[in-house]
Amino acid sequence: MPAAAPSKPGRPRLVLSQGDPAGIGPELMLRLAAAPPPAHCDLLFVAERAALVAVRHLVPAAWDRLAFVDAAPPAGAYDPAEPIPVLDPVAEPRVVSPGHPEAADAAGALAALDTASALTRAGEAAALVTLPVSKATIARHRLPGFVGHTDYLAAACGLERYGRDYLMAFLAPDLQVALLTVHEPLRRALDGVTGEAVLDALHCLARHAGGRIALAGMNPHAGEGGLLGGEEEAILAPAVAEARRRGIDVSGPESPDAVFTRNRNGDFDWVLALYHDQGLIAVKTAARGAATNWTLGLPYLRTSVDHGTAFDIAGRGLADPSSLNAVIATTVALARGELPRLRAAAGHVVAP
């Protein structure tokens, strides 16, 4: 790839991993490439040529905006008007069938993720943006027990899942939510709500994000003084008291049916939800596709879209890039240290 003028100061490079090759990730990459070059960041794609070829006909204008390379060019060594460099992590000819994931797609998804995360950890990019993978496909064909990007990337960095060294968090307009437990059956997730786990998660959230935290209760009305459940008094309230003793700005347990609205109104900066759907139903309803998945605790910045592989529409030209565009804007702000940004007047985190 020919050398070009250095990028403008303050333009972080984002490396994007393809996600599942049979999902909508490759089409989203092409739609991003076909759009006007972003003025606020440089891009590097890690994607199989075969995955992009499979959907090339859907966005024909994008192809001339790609430059397949054998190695990642130095960050800042190319002009944003030049084609986006694409690094193929597999570099083997094959046929990808959008909407029909196979074993080779699981391998390709992991190869792209490993390559992109290694580049980011090595300082070749300011952030890793992951497109959606299929947990089921990877677990079936490559890694039994695989439950998603977050745990996989954290394990590669030597972080402890149950030590709460890291958290899955979401930034949405006027709503910021972190999750105590993530991708596990609800009955098991509730068993994982222990005082130690809550305290560790509060430490992680305070350390990596800061601000005022509200802990969501487990039961309706946060137990209603024990009438509707005893976990709040037995587990959650003591953890909050201990966290406050250690200097963490946290309140609760708060009634789950009201805490997210209170967060949006500025009463808190963050909500720590106890399980996946308790937090994500609120986030996805409020964000309408504009939320950013942010992994707190990794030694590098990693973000993701908040949707899945959408196999049902893959290859049909229906993939909407608006969620990815929102994630890129938020990621650039994070890379520049602009988020979370506490607004003194209103007292809540402001998303870009």
Q: Provide the whole-model pTM.
A: 0.88
Q: Among 3.40.718.10, 3.30.499.10, 3.50.50.60, 2.40.50.100, what is the CATH number of 165-289+342-352?
A: 3.40.718.10
Positions of the chain with pLDDT lower than 70, given as ranges = 1-10, 76-78, 161-164, 223, 339-352
Dist CA 136 CA 45 (whole Å): 24
pLDDT at 245: 95
pLDDT at 162: 54
- Residue 65 is classified by DSSP as G
Where are the chain's structural domains? 1-159+298-320, 165-289+342-352
Nearest alpha-carbon partner for 22 in 67, 52, 61, 66: 52
pLDDT at 158: 87
**C-alpha distances out from residue 183 to 86, 269, 286, Å:** 31, 24, 21
HEC string for 160-195? CCCCCCCEEEEEECCEEEEECCCCCCHHHHHHCCCH
Structure token digits, residue 310: 């959408």
In sequence order, what are the residues at sequence separation of 6 or more whose Cβ sits closer than 8 angstroms to the Cβ of residue 245? none
User: In terms of DSSP H, where are the helices of the chain?
Assistant: 25-34, 49-54, 103-121, 135-141, 149-156, 186-191, 195-208, 231, 237-245, 256-264, 276-287, 322-335
The hierarchical CATH code for the domain 1-159+298-320 is 3.40.718.10
| Same fold yes or no, 1-159+298-320 and 165-289+342-352 | yes
pLDDT at 169: 95
Q: Give the type of residue at 290.
A: A
pLDDT at 306: 87
pLDDT at 5: 32
